[in-house]
Chains A and B, each alone.
Chain A
Amino acid sequence: MGRYVARRLLQGLLTLFLVMVLLHLLTTAAIQLNGNPALAFFGDRVPTAAQLQAVSERYGLGDACYNQLGNPCVGPFLDRLAAYATGDFGTDLRGREVTEIVAVAAPNTLRLFAVVGLTWLVVGMTLGSLAARYRGRAADHGIRAGSILVDAFPVFVMLLVYKFVVTVPMSTWARDTFGAESLPALLFRPSFSPDHPWATVLVPGVLLGLAGSAAFIRLVRAAQLENYNAEHVRTARSKGLGERHVTLFHIVRNSSIPVVTAIGFVFAEALAGAVVTEGLMNVYGMGGVLWSAVRDSDVSVVVGIVTLLAVVTVVVMIVVDLLYAALDPRIRFD
């Protein structure tokens, strides 16, 4: 067990390193192709070479390699690794510490994730189990058709429709009826408000969770169906155990194995969804920050946040693997 965890951690570190290399090469190439973001600082004015160099230095892009297309810029990469090792994650273009930005943005993202995760799990497990229980009947067909419909409807379209069609009349009506600070009015606010971080993140979170749960419903259904007719379930029934006991101990328990594995990729999907959601709903979160950082070519922020997200993802994957082994005794470490 210990050896397995150590090996997975080492693998995780390697993955992380590769992510950072790739990220570095991509951002470097982007700068080399699009031109130095420091130029944007001067707008229409043409800076002198010294001025440009000064601003570039401030942006951490002073190295000459950024002007040579194809140069992998190994030097700046090593500098960044060394800085990260000492806990220095750099600043954004306005001189704000990346760590400080994350400290403000991360809690909002975590809130969104909590809502998404909960929706995803509750909706997915409930509807998936129901569909499996009533396989082939109206409830099953309805749930499956619904989930495919949601799947076919991109998250950002759903959010756009929500934001521009639903929120304005709903929040106006709620504000007039219950008052500006009432819960219904906050729930349907078209954009995030840092003063009410939970209420304003709830509806977008539920929508994102619904989108994620569509595929999950079908996974839960398939996993449970496989067990409904499994021979070990028949054995359990032959022992005279009640149907509720059989469902809980032999169907839901056994189908939890593939379901847990799904947490890994649904998490990755939710991360991607969060970038879009935060961008659209103006949530000041990791996704929103990343969104604007990419737009502004803010290299330090992009690299810092993507690295952090990679760390979180790697950790989630390791936890899922451990959980998987804990749930299925046939999986053995080493």
Chain B
Amino acid sequence: MTDDPTGGDRSSTEPLLEVEDLVVEFATSDGVVRAVDGLSWSVSAGETLAVVGESGSGKSVSSLAVMGLLQTPPARIVRGSVRFRGTDLLSLPRAEHRRYCGDHVAMVFQDALAALNPVYTVGFQLTEALVARTGTSRREARRRAVELLDLVRVPNAAQRVRDYPHQFSGGMRQRVMIAMALALDPQVLIADEPTTALDVTVQAQIMTLLAEIQAERQMALVLITHDLGVVASVADRVTVMYAGRAVEQAPVLDAFTRPAHPYTAALLRSVPRLEALPGEDEDAELAVIPGRPPELVALPPGCSFHPRCQRSVAGCRVDPGPALRLVAPGRRAACHLAEEQLADPPVPVAAPAPAEEVRGG
């Protein structure tokens, strides 16, 4: 597989939502921690952007910042902008920011059981914002709630709107969560680990549903996940985050076949595969990334990844660390050695397969 320049640049259309140079800090008892450091990404209508990273890499914090949902204090947005069709949401008063997001940018949360209010019926929560905003009648709201549940293919929707979240199975609850996000017809959907809390077969169903709805409505989808299999199957572009920074941004196929950052490469090696790579021992143990994610209070000097990096050289330990730069058409990476990394033999199309296609070995 070689670089595919057309697949590399689908964002030719006007971006809908743009995050630029976002910096979020948290005041903790150990001092100020920079959870997101200079993050930029953008997403256009009909496009899926995956934001990938380990826990603590800042991927969720950045999406909460986009939605105006960070608790401030302890969080503080130091600088940066979040523009929706040119309007900088961060410059709006918080209440207005949230209202604006309610209309245009919706969010699907990870654990639907915790993210839905246990004391209200699903029907009430589906249309709560609609009723609060437009004063829709109860009857009309009920009709709309049924419509939304139908849309996400919850069987027997007319009865189920009267049920409470705990009466749904995990997968159905996540469908409710998605339906709720769609209630006000958003143009951008941010899904924060939407399938992490679900079992594997249900994960595939939910991802398929999300992808279908996105294609149908030409929504922009920002998928925050640590599951590379999910990324491979649905995303167009990927942003890999490490210790609060974007370390690689590329079309998904490129990033997965010829990663430009050693961290991306290490992540791909650590995905379990059904078949050994050519030239690899069949019985070899699964590769892991040595060490542990850095403490944000005490980041190593230079490139934050260098202590765990196989390629690191003396230059990696020197401040300032590598900045995100163009390393190939449509591709950015924050690594001094990106060219070397790109010269590595390409990885066969990444095995992470959508769960529905997994067969017994």
List the interface of chain A (C-beta within 8 A of B). Answer: 229-232, 234-243, 245, 249-250, 253-254, 257, 327-330
Give the complex CA separation of A229 and B183 in angstroms.
Answer: 24
B-chain residues with CB within 8 Å of residue A254 when the two chains form the complex: 117-119
A-chain residues with CB within 8 Å of residue B128 when the two chains form the complex: 236, 239, 241, 249
List the interface of chain B (C-beta within 8 A of A). Answer: 64, 67-69, 71, 95, 98-103, 106-107, 109, 111, 114-120, 128-129, 132-133, 164, 166, 180, 183-184
A-B pairs with lowest CB-CB distance, top 5:
A240-B102, A239-B129, A231-B114, A232-B117, A329-B164
Contact A236:B117 (CB < 8 A) given known A231-B109, A231-B111, A242-B95:
yes
Taking a contact as CB atoms under 8 Å apart, the answer to whether B106 and A238 are in contact is yes
Give the complex CA separation of A243 and B128 in angstroms.
Answer: 14
Of the candidates A234, A240, A243, A249, the one whose C-beta lies within 8 Å of that of B109 is A234
Interface Cβ pair total, 8 Å cutoff: 78
Taking a contact as CB atoms under 8 Å apart, the answer to whether A241 and B102 are in contact is yes
Give the complex CA separation of A249 and B117 in angstroms.
Answer: 10
Give the complex CA separation of A240 and B89 in angstroms.
Answer: 13
B-chain residues with CB within 8 Å of residue A229 when the two chains form the complex: 71
Give the complex CA separation of A120 and B118 in angstroms.
Answer: 28
Give the complex CA separation of A241 and B128 in angstroms.
Answer: 8
B-chain residues with CB within 8 Å of residue A329 when the two chains form the complex: 118-119, 164, 166
Across the interface, name the chain B residue whose C-beta is closest to A328.
B119
CB distance from B101 to the nearest CB of A (A): 6
Across the interface, name the chain B residue whose C-beta is closest to A253.
B119
Taking a contact as CB atoms under 8 Å apart, the answer to whether B119 and A239 are in contact is no
B-chain residues with CB within 8 Å of residue A257 when the two chains form the complex: 119
A-chain residues with CB within 8 Å of residue B102 when the two chains form the complex: 238-241
Of the candidates B64, B107, B114, B184, the one whose C-beta lies within 8 Å of that of A232 is B114
B-chain residues with CB within 8 Å of residue A234 when the two chains form the complex: 64, 69, 109, 115
Give the complex CA separation of A249 and B118 in angstroms.
Answer: 12
Taking a contact as CB atoms under 8 Å apart, the answer to whether B132 and A232 are in contact is no
CB distance from B87 to the nearest CB of A (A): 15
A sample of 12 cross-chain residue pairs with beta-carbon separation below 8 angstroms, ordered by A number, consists of A231-B109, A235-B115, A237-B68, A238-B69, A239-B128, A240-B184, A241-B128, A242-B99, A245-B132, A328-B118, A329-B166, A330-B164
Give the complex CA separation of A231 and B180 in angstroms.
Answer: 15
B-chain residues with CB within 8 Å of residue A232 when the two chains form the complex: 114-118
Give the complex CA separation of A328 and B164 in angstroms.
Answer: 10
Across the interface, name the chain B residue whose C-beta is closest to A230.
B114
Contact A237:B118 (CB < 8 A) given known A245-B132, A329-B164, A330-B166:
no
A-chain residues with CB within 8 Å of residue B103 when the two chains form the complex: 240
Of the candidates B67, B98, B115, the one whose C-beta lies within 8 Å of that of A231 is B115
Give the complex CA separation of A119 and B119 in angstroms.
Answer: 28
Taking a contact as CB atoms under 8 Å apart, the answer to whether A241 and B118 are in contact is no
Give the complex CA separation of A8 and B292 in angstroms.
Answer: 55
Give the complex CA separation of A261 and B120 in angstroms.
Answer: 19
Contact A240:B100 (CB < 8 A) given known A245-B132, A329-B164, A330-B166:
yes
Given contacts A232-B118, A330-B118, 9 further A-B contacts (CB under 8 A): A231-B109, A232-B116, A234-B115, A238-B67, A239-B128, A241-B128, A241-B129, A242-B95, A245-B132
Give the complex CA separation of A242 and B64 in angstroms.
Answer: 17
Give the complex CA separation of A255 and B166 in angstroms.
Answer: 18
Give the complex CA separation of A249 and B119 in angstroms.
Answer: 10
Give the complex CA separation of A231 and B118 in angstroms.
Answer: 11
Taking a contact as CB atoms under 8 Å apart, the answer to whether A327 and B115 are in contact is no
CB distance from B290 to the nearest CB of A (A): 33
Taking a contact as CB atoms under 8 Å apart, the answer to whether A238 and B107 are in contact is yes
Give the complex CA separation of A61 and B114 in angstroms.
Answer: 62
CB distance from A324 to the nearest CB of B (A): 12
Give the complex CA separation of A257 and B119 in angstroms.
Answer: 10
Give the complex CA separation of A328 and B118 in angstroms.
Answer: 8
B-chain residues with CB within 8 Å of residue A243 when the two chains form the complex: 95
CB distance from B115 to the nearest CB of A (A): 5
Give the complex CA separation of A241 and B68 in angstroms.
Answer: 12
Give the complex CA separation of A245 and B107 in angstroms.
Answer: 19
Give the complex CA separation of A231 and B128 in angstroms.
Answer: 16
Across the interface, name the chain A residue whose C-beta is closest to B133.
A240
A-chain residues with CB within 8 Å of residue B164 when the two chains form the complex: 329-330
A-chain residues with CB within 8 Å of residue B109 when the two chains form the complex: 231, 234-235, 238
Give the complex CA separation of A257 and B117 in angstroms.
Answer: 13
